[in-house]
Structure 1
Amino acid sequence: MAPKNKYTNIVLFGQAGAGKSSLVNLTVGKDMATTSNDMKLSTMHWQEYPIEFDGESYKVFDTVGLEEPQLGIPQFLDAIENAYKLIQDLEKQGGIDLLLLCMRAGRLTSTLQNNYWLFHEFLCDKKVPIIVVITYLENEAGEMDDWWKRNEEIFHRQEVHVAGHACITAIAGNSPHRHEESRTTIRNLFKEFAADEQKQAWIGGDSLFVSFMRKLKDLLVGNGKSAREDMVSRLTKRCGMSRDVAEKLADRIKPW
């Protein structure tokens, strides 16, 4: 693995409209990311945001919300391919320290589950700590964290296992106190789960890059046709893709 750089690298993912850009602005303490619910204004490429606080430097990479029907298949595939290339590039440069799943308070939808498996299992081989951030809780009765207490068991039943969580509001609105509380919560999570000991607890043996390349190499044992079919099967069964979409993605990221 390449030597660790001075930044903590954090990859942010989740559905459009979940408040990912607002989350970036909340953490940095000013408007840095452009917020919009208009899919026509979004890019299929990730956005990079440098963030500094308490003497530490972070880089947050905001990826496109992966929603196939809304994006259309070509754009959906572009977004995944870009995320795949981003993760490989970051690993070569020093590694990924944290995955951040951003979701709006509500149901744990099949799209959210599929995005979780795509990033956590397929792209990162379960070797990067992942935390879930639940947004739009400014009107939650009682404490914002009560939402997690009510819904934690649902995550376990759906096999969405995370190392930590944060229940927040990313907009000040009529709840400036909760907004400031949310900033503190997010920053503390950045520091806690990006720490070397937390990362090592998840990595285990091989680095993410070595592990992922070994997985691809294993898929190639035999002829290219059987390797392709194996990858398609994994994408359909674990990431909820249709066979047609999985085949197109396998052709895009194949290493041969």
Structure 2
Amino acid sequence: MVTFNVLFLGETDTGKASIIDVIAGQGEGRTSPCSDTREVQLDNKTFLLHTAPSLEPKSETTSAVAVKQRYQDLLRDLRKNGGPHLLVYCLDGSHSTSWIEATHDAISSCFTLPFSIPTIAVVTGVRGLAQQESWWSNNQTLFTNQAVRFVGHAFIPVMSHD
């Protein structure tokens, strides 16, 4: 049986674990400050949903280099097991998206180019269709300039960021 690896990326408090809980049918509420993996069965297929740690240091004792190394270790482990089959960038619509370029660079450095893993964006905290369309239009150019190509995107208007 084929197992599909899905990697959820995002800054701290962007709702990665909550989005995974919704996909897993377990509601919201579980959070994890570091990487975590959940196995989910959907349509008779097995998906391993991996929550990647944020690249931002958590405290003065955790260096950016250590965080990036942990992140790259996760990506290398995934590559050994077939690689991630889908990247999901979890974005809080009220926060800056500047972290995406550093995350994308870290991922690219772990894979042979051209790196062509399907990538989608899930944006939380933007309410109303007009605001969602405006947010996407305003940020799409930024993503393109950062060489991040999303094959799709979705908005979740309300999401707990416990």
The verdict on a shared fold, with TM-score over 0.5 as the criterion, is: yes
> 2:94 matched to which residue of 1?
106
Which protein has the bigger helix share?
A: 1
> 1:22 matched to which residue of 2?
18
Larger Rg: 1
- Does structure 2 retain, via aligned residues, the 8 Å contact 1:144–1:167? no
Identity of counterpart residues, as a percentage?
23
Q: Secondary structure at the match of 1:106?
A: coil
- Does structure 1 retain, via aligned residues, the 8 Å contact 2:37–2:51? yes
2:77 is the counterpart of 1:81: no
**1:82-140, Cα deviation, whole Å (9 max, x unpaired):** 32222222222233211111111035433232122222x21234232222211123xx2
* TM-score, structure 2 normalization: 0.78
CA change 1:162–1:28 in 2 (3 A) is: same
Superposed displacement of residue 158, structure 1? 3.9
After TM superposition, where is structure 1 displaced by more than 4 Å over at least 4 residues in a row?
none
Could you tell me how far apart the structure 2 residues matched to 1:170 and 1:24 are? 14
- Does structure 1 retain, via aligned residues, the 8 Å contact 2:94–2:125? no
2:136 is the counterpart of 1:136: no
What is the CA RMSD across the aligned residues, in angstroms? 2.7
Specify which of 111, 115, 127 is matched with residue 124 of structure 1.
Answer: 111
Q: Secondary structure at the match of 1:117?
A: helix
Specify which of 45, 55, 61 is matched with residue 44 of structure 2.
Answer: 55
Could you tell me how far apart the structure 2 residues matched to 1:94 and 1:109 are? 28
Amino acid at match of 2:145: R
Superposed displacement of residue 144, structure 1? 6.9
> 1:206 matched to which residue of 2?
none
- Does structure 2 retain, via aligned residues, the 8 Å contact 1:11–1:96? yes
Structure 1: 5+ residue stretches without partners? 37-41, 173-256
- Does structure 1 retain, via aligned residues, the 8 Å contact 2:5–2:86? yes
CA change 1:158–1:91 in 2 (3 A) is: closer
Could you tell me how far apart the structure 2 residues matched to 1:52 and 1:170 are? 25
Could you tell me how far apart the structure 1 residues matched to 2:20 and 2:131 are? 19
Amino acid at match of 1:47: D
- Does structure 1 retain, via aligned residues, the 8 Å contact 2:91–2:121? yes
Superposed displacement of residue 17, structure 1? 0.8
Superposed displacement of residue 32, structure 1? 7.6
Amino acid at match of 2:3: Y
| Aligned pairs for 1:115-194 within 5 A | 115-119=103-107, 121-125=108-112, 126-137=115-126, 140-142=127-129, 145-146=132-133, 147-169=135-157, 171=159
Amino acid at match of 1:91: R
CA change 1:12–1:72 in 2 (3 A) is: farther
CA change 1:106–1:32 in 2 (3 A) is: closer
Could you tell me how far apart the structure 2 residues matched to 1:33 and 1:19 are? 10
Could you tell me how far apart the structure 2 residues matched to 1:77 and 1:107 are? 23
Could you tell me how far apart the structure 2 residues matched to 1:52 and 1:32 are? 18
Superposed displacement of residue 164, structure 1? 2.1
